[in-house]
Amino acid sequence: MEATISAVRALMDAKPRAALGFYPTPLYKLERLSEMLGVSLYIKRDDFSGMSLFGGNKVRKLEYLLGDAVAKGCDTVFTYGATQSNHAMQTVTACRRLGLAPILYLNAYVQPNENDIRSNMLLDRILGAEMHIVEGLDGETEADTEARCFAMGKAHAARLEAQGRECYDIPLGGASYIGSAAFIGGYCELREQCAQMKIDPDYLFTATGTGGTLAGLMAGRRLLDAKAKVIAVAVSRKSAEYEAKCASLANECLEWIGGDKRISAEDITVNRDYFAPGYEQPNEAATEAIRLLARTEGLLLDPVYSGKAFAGLLGHVRGGKITPGSTVVFWHTGGATALFAEKEILGPLAEAEGAC
């Protein structure tokens, strides 16, 4: 028996939440691209989540994460990511809104130029975040560097707490069960909009990095027994255990809100064909996808997350994996500030091109 949207919302409403975003975010049809591709293609504009001009989907998570921090009496927030992390920047923005002190430990996948600070790092600086840039050591993997960032943050928080501060730790991408559960509410929102528009999507595409957004969406889909197949496009290398990790996180979300259903790794579909050569590294498919959406619908994607996810959607349609006439929703996770990042992240998008 499927849960009703009102019942799921009641479970979510019982949790502490900071009002940071603007919901519902728009859902509408991409008319020109739908005609071109032969499917009914809709876009869910979670890049409009707010709260600033530079919004993105992490605001949903931060409403519950920082709601929990405030409820626990915390005054300082630690989080992590790459130097151009959307999550880190949005965390700083939300902390300023709530009067919390933000501290960042950032992994330098791309080495920033102190004489030309750009994009999210520039915003972090304007917002006055305390930033610690951590460079990878020789022979160290990305996971090793991230682990070192976490250890440094934990030690820093311990020093502050010894001085009487109350610290709150947010993992990469806000991908804890508290943050990820926000997308259960996001899925309810999508279902309400679809009902109003009299559509019933066959597919839902989204980018996946740390897995929090995917876990929350899958939990919401399971609670509502929706038919739309969720296809997540990986934006970085994922282990064979990634699906199981996301399923476990989704089940933690369901348990946290008191939902009575669970999912397994077999319920989760992750496409790994579009991330290469790596995180924050551009590729031809993403570049083409960004240009196509910009030139048909006047909408911008980013080269790190949404561009690669949209490339995956295009590949599925063009490759015949999606039946012509299907209804497809693309969940736009935001991140357009990456279009103003270092050229190593932008790739060919920063180069001159012939007239279109």
CA contacts within 13 A on the Cβ side of 161: 14
Q: Give the list of residues 6+ apart from residue 131 with CB closer than 8 angstroms, or none.
A: 104, 106, 121, 124, 125
pLDDT tens per residue across all 356 residues of the chain: 467 999 999 999 999 999 999 999 999 999 999 999 999 999 999 999 988 888 789 999 999 999 999 999 999 999 999 999 999 999 999 999 999 999 999 999 888 999 999 999 999 999 999 999 999 999 998 889 999 999 999 999 999 999 999 999 999 999 999 999 999 999 999 999 999 999 999 999 999 999 999 999 999 999 999 999 999 999 999 999 999 999 999 999 999 999 999 999 999 999 999 999 999 999 999 999 999 999 999 999 999 999 999 999 999 999 999 999 999 999 999 999 999 999 999 999 988 775 44
CA atoms of 190 and 271, how far apart (whole Å)? 22
Q: Say which residue the tokens 């902390």 belong to.
A: 95
Active site residue 306: no
Q: Give the list of residues 6+ apart from residue 283 with CB closer than 8 angstroms, or none.
A: 274, 275, 276, 277, 308, 311, 347
Peptide bond connecting 51 to the previous residue in cis, omega within 30 degrees of 0: yes
| Full set of structural domains in the chain with CATH | 5-55+176-350 (3.40.50.1100), 58-174 (3.40.50.1100)
User: Which helix H or strand E contains 93, and what residues bound it?
Assistant: helix 86-98
Annotated active-site residue in 85, 119, 248, 306: 85
